[in-house]
Structure 1
Amino acid sequence: MKKSFYIILATFIVLAIIDHKGYAQGCVAIRQFSGVGNAIGQGNILEKGEWNFNVNYRYFRSFRHFSGTTEHPQRVEDNTEVINWTHLMDINISYAITERAFAVVSIPLAYNERSSLYEHGRTERHMTYSGGLTDVIVGGGYWLLSGEKAKSGNMALGGGIKVPTGDYGATSRFYNVGTNGESEIRPVDQSIQLGDGGWGFIINGQGIWNLGSATFLYYDGFYMFNPRNTNGIQTNRRRENESIMSVPDQYAFRTGIFKPVGGLHGLGFGLGGRIEGVPVRDIIGRSDGFRRPGYILSIEPSASYMIGNFTATLNLPIALLRNRTQSLTDIANSTPENRVHGDAAFADYLINVGLAYRLTKKSNSIFNALD
């Protein structure tokens, strides 16, 4: 099989895989969103005027509580842990403006369930829910190399705007919280809100490079700036400086190795690492209100299968290190005698499944084009 086939095939598949980002595994992820990665990656083999359509489904269950890197296993043993079940689906559409420049829109949907004891009077465990459209992202990017210079790999720089289309004040019923123990309709926890209420600005970079022997290095990273300070939504927390939800920045970086296996239909496997999280302080603007800062370091095996213009991907980030860092409100509420350090619930793993279709200007597939 031609060397050029491996390069084009791996570029298509790897940069489809590395779309999955910005969804930290648990309460540290104030909200989950799709980055601009899929269109950036698959734009690399689109000709001017062609489209790429991608649907991603993601799932995780967070329940292990950490303060810093210290786990609190007694929460599970005592049945006091908070459990989040999160289902996410992103519909990504990209368009090649030229052979190097592209535009992308990401339309994300979510359904969340949250089981808690402490949010319902600390006497009974109940569920709260949220579901619907989250924050839409519109963006694009540009590949730095073309022609002969891109034969061994390429890198794209991109950016986007996060539009606050998600309901950042979603509500559900909370039990045993009224003056006389009655139930009330209140905003759900920050971790399952459908939006954060802020306009966000994203910078992104990613690429793939041939290491020889049909082995490829990939990398992908983004940072989302959220200049808005707080969004006005009540948290119903006891401390005054934690009564309103913060609008935090987010970030992620991933890298790893990908290798096609044989030539039949484009089967391939990858192994990499990733770090993602929420910073203690935003880069732009103030950082008041309540947030759960922290990060997750994961190992990420992946697999892909390509036939014609269709590509299916599966990746499974598995948490190695979970750190709920001390927030600004934790620091402000601490005294020399009592150091405050809140906790957060994290997942053990995350499941990502994707299906992409490249709508070409020609009827023949990429395989026929390489003959």
Structure 2
Amino acid sequence: MKRFIPIILGMLLPFVAQINVNAQGCVAIRQFSGIGNAVGQGNILEKGEWNISSNYRYFKSFRHFSGTEEHPNRVANNTEVINWSHGVDLNVSYAISNRAYAVVSLPFAYNERSSLYEHGRNSRHMTYSKGIADMRVGAGYWLLSSEKARKGNTAVGLGVKLPTGDYNAQGTFYNVGPNGTSEVRPVDQSIQLGDGGWGLIVDAQGIWNLPSNFFLYYDGFYMFNPRNTNGTRTNRGRASEGIMSVPDQFAFRAGVFKPIPVIHGLGISLGGRVEGVPVRDIIGDSDGFRRPGYIASVEPGLSYMLGNFTTTLTVPVALIRNRTRSLTDIADSTPDNRRHGDAAFADYLINVNLAWRIPKKVKGVFNSID
């Protein structure tokens, strides 16, 4: 089993969300995952070894949903909102012991948003955001020692999400000022670089040997975001949605992985994943504007390991997209007017990861850790 674990755990690095995510659409999951996903091969490093990885994510969201019902007329009438999202995570992990690890992850994002309704509904224009997103630091621990982990193991992690991303990124909006002039305003919540809150992340991940040389993998996280609202204005019509909320986020993925013996180092995987934003936070209030909902996807993947390098490609394809009713939807509804906001989702998400395991005995700049 030890022969294949580096490939499998390297495959687990690309995620979600994300969670992100952001998360395949306007359901505003920040562009990061749980702490464990930023470790990759670092999960099986020996004490004193390092792992450096980078993960790239891309999606285009444009299909509008209220609940699970799609609104195809938005695309047909050219009124859909389109988000193009690019994210890169730089991750460094360190093996404190053969079971404990620490990780630091710094995400960067570049987003574009094309909209008609945000620009006076007269003409379509673009807004942008780019820069550092919300950083996270954390640690994890494998529950079984190497002697007992012959058939598999599970790790639990705890981390902190820092509000390093700009949560009041500005853009130019046309036809919205006096006499149809343009104004500089905060961009939509879905392309803000951060949410302005300190988050607590709990996660778990694991891998287990199955018959016929298959492996079961699973990975999930929940981020508690206690801050209520962040003060950034939305410029939406309803007073209850005037300020952006700071929502919790969650994601879970599981599947099976199989090495391909014909090509040494190659493996394929097939799994599923669910990621989203809850209607209510577990800790703290849940006022302000958010787009709660979730995405359930099937996730095929391909992984290849050469020496201490592992590269992974996963392409989650959306099966269920559900923009659930927010608290403001519920509060502002009447018997004659049941409100249910919509959100734009993507058809698929592309994740590409490259991880470099640095053995303890490597000579050069890392000699000082020996």
Short-chain TM bin = over 0.9
* Structure 1 Cα separation of the partners of residues 93 and 112 of structure 2: 31
Number of residue-to-residue matches in the alignment: 358
Cα displacement string for residues 136-188 of structure 1 (whole angstroms, at most 9, x for unaligned residues): 00001000111221111110000110000000000010000001110011000
Question: TM-score scaled by structure 1?
Answer: 0.95
Seen in structure 2, the aligned counterparts of structure 1 residues 38 and 197 have a Cα distance that, compared at 3 Å, is same
Task: Note the C-alpha offset of 1:95.
Answer: 0.2
1:11 aligned to 2:43? Answer: no
1:76-87 equivalences in 2 (<5 Å): 76-87=75-86
1:296-315 equivalences in 2 (<5 Å): 296-315=295-314
Instruction: Give the corresponding residue for 1:183.
Output: 182
Instruction: Give the corresponding residue for 2:25.
Output: 26
Which one-letter code corresponds to 1:206 in the other structure? Answer: Q
Cα displacement string for residues 222-251 of structure 1 (whole angstroms, at most 9, x for unaligned residues): 000000000000000010000000000000
Residues 34 and 202 of structure 2 are in contact (CA less than 8 Å); yes or no, is this contact kept in structure 1? no
What secondary structure is seen at the aligned counterpart in 1 of 2:311?
strand
1:109-128 equivalences in 2 (<5 Å): 109-128=108-127
* Structure 2 Cα separation of the partners of residues 289 and 335 of structure 1: 19
Instruction: Give the corresponding residue for 1:47.
Output: 46
* Structure 2 Cα separation of the partners of residues 360 and 265 of structure 1: 21
Which one-letter code corresponds to 1:339 in the other structure? Answer: R
* Structure 2 Cα separation of the partners of residues 127 and 39 of structure 1: 32
Seen in structure 2, the aligned counterparts of structure 1 residues 275 and 134 have a Cα distance that, compared at 3 Å, is same
Instruction: Give the corresponding residue for 1:149.
Output: 148
Question: TM-score scaled by structure 2?
Answer: 0.95
1:326 aligned to 2:320? Answer: no
Which one-letter code corresponds to 1:302 in the other structure? Answer: G
* Structure 2 Cα separation of the partners of residues 289 and 187 of structure 1: 15
Residues 51 and 359 of structure 1 are in contact (CA less than 8 Å); yes or no, is this contact kept in structure 2? yes
1:102-251 equivalences in 2 (<5 Å): 102-251=101-250
Residues 302 and 313 of structure 2 are in contact (CA less than 8 Å); yes or no, is this contact kept in structure 1? yes
* Structure 1 Cα separation of the partners of residues 222 and 244 of structure 2: 20
C-alpha RMSD over aligned residues: 1.2
What secondary structure is seen at the aligned counterpart in 1 of 2:283?
coil
Instruction: Give the corresponding residue for 2:60.
Output: 61
* Structure 2 Cα separation of the partners of residues 332 and 166 of structure 1: 30
What secondary structure is seen at the aligned counterpart in 2 of 1:131?
strand
Task: Note the C-alpha offset of 1:40.
Answer: 4.1
Task: Note the C-alpha offset of 1:39.
Answer: 4.3
What secondary structure is seen at the aligned counterpart in 2 of 1:8?
coil
* Structure 2 Cα separation of the partners of residues 132 and 143 of structure 1: 34
Instruction: Give the corresponding residue for 1:369.
Output: none
Instruction: Give the corresponding residue for 1:368.
Output: none
Identity %: 72
Task: Note the C-alpha offset of 1:41.
Answer: 4.2
Task: Note the C-alpha offset of 1:30.
Answer: 4.1
* Structure 2 Cα separation of the partners of residues 311 and 100 of structure 1: 21
Query: Is there any run of 5+ residues in structure 1 with no aligned partner, and where?
Result: 1-6, 365-371
Instruction: Give the corresponding residue for 1:367.
Output: none
Task: Note the C-alpha offset of 1:13.
Answer: 1.9
Task: Out of 346-355 and 144-153, give the one that drifted further.
Answer: 144-153
Seen in structure 2, the aligned counterparts of structure 1 residues 219 and 274 have a Cα distance that, compared at 3 Å, is same
Task: Note the C-alpha offset of 1:293.
Answer: 0.1
1:348-367 equivalences in 2 (<5 Å): 348-363=347-362
* Structure 2 Cα separation of the partners of residues 246 and 198 of structure 1: 10
* Structure 1 Cα separation of the partners of residues 38 and 146 of structure 2: 20
